[in-house]
Structure 1
Amino acid sequence: MSEPFDPYRIWLGIPADQQPPSHYQLLGVVEFESDPDVLENAADRQMAHVRTFQSGKHSEESQRILNEITQAKICLLKPDKRAAYEAKLKAQKPVTAQETGERAIPVSASPTAHPAMNPMTPMTPTAGTAIPVGSAQQQAIPVSPVRPAEHAIKVTVDNPTAHLPGVARPNAKSVTRRARRRRGNAGIPWVLIMGVMIGVGSVIAIGMFILKATGTDGE
């Protein structure tokens, strides 16, 4: 058995679940289109397409759809009629969650089953990892004993060893004698030098005298 002829689906591409079609579907435009030029051109295009089937075996369906397209064109091209039609069309549409701003929350069909617990069975505590706890006593830190402050010993410039502990202090008399000896010994080298020079001068003078005497005798 062949399916009945569906002119809306075959000629205009409107599926069966969207029938009867709206004025916008008959014209082949988006829903709530308001541009008059778009609506008029779409209506003329659809009517020219449906007229091609008037001479065939589906002439009656062709004429009926042409009348519906004409009524849709007249309604949508008049602003007041289009506004009333849009309000009626919106009222017929089911309210969805997106329009109301509500979001559906999925609920599980069966609640989560919790395993039954035997009241007679004692619960064994789970052995946890032992956490070492530091002793309250702090480790003693060795501290070196504080040494008494050492006193600086004042040393004079004249005699550096005068106040040093453990250093023998020289006798003043012995120091004076040594100084005198040094001063006395300091003049001895000069005396020796002068004596040598005098001796050498004497030898030279004697030699010159002998030479002169020898020369006189020879003459």
Structure 2
Amino acid sequence: MSSYRLIEERYALPSPAGAFHAASHRNNDPVRSLLCALLQYETTPAVTQQALERWTSLSGEDAQEALYHAQSLGWVEGFREERNAPPGALETLLPELLPPLSDCGKALLADSHGFYVAASGFTHEAAIELSALSADLASLDNRHQSLTHNNLRIPTSAWALVDAAGNSQLGFWPLFIDDQRFALVLQGVPHLNQSVFTSLVWALSTRYAGSKRD
């Protein structure tokens, strides 16, 4: 008999911390697979045993354990009613989603080629240069992952310019959406632990991620 029980008619969505875990690296463990799959739906899906097994590539109680692990870490939230991904074109959405992620409203999203997709609070010239810098940092991170990830076991690919207290003044966070790599660039204090960050990752996932829904 299973040690876990699925609550019927609950709709699941990653929390801000769960969205961060899903987008901050490319490791394909069952929990991340679950989180990424949930973010591909335009409407929050109902959690069923069959769906869990598809999302995690596990069977039976192992699939339930992956959900329980994500829930115990605060990475998944359950709702009684469906919720919808942010609608509309990214060109319209991003100017609304980016500013709340920084305490001073300065944020931009760049693609893997070093071109900015959207920016808030930065001049056009600064946005161009910061986007190019984000691509340089991505290349630097890739070259030194054997040191930072394997040797030092630092589980992040984010880079930052910090003050004397170690606080980020300008940070570069990679967002891995399937095969796409974006860079979230924030000046000032980052505010990632809020629902607007989930909305950002959700909006990107529904548009760029391959499907593990069906």
TM-score of Structure 1 vs Structure 2, range by shorter chain:
under 0.3
Q: What is the TM-score of this pair, normalised by structure 1?
A: 0.21
Q: What is the TM-score of this pair, normalised by structure 2?
A: 0.21
Q: Which has the higher strand share?
A: 2
Where relative contact order (Cα < 8 A, 6+ residues apart) is larger, the structure is 2
Q: Which has the higher helix share?
A: 1
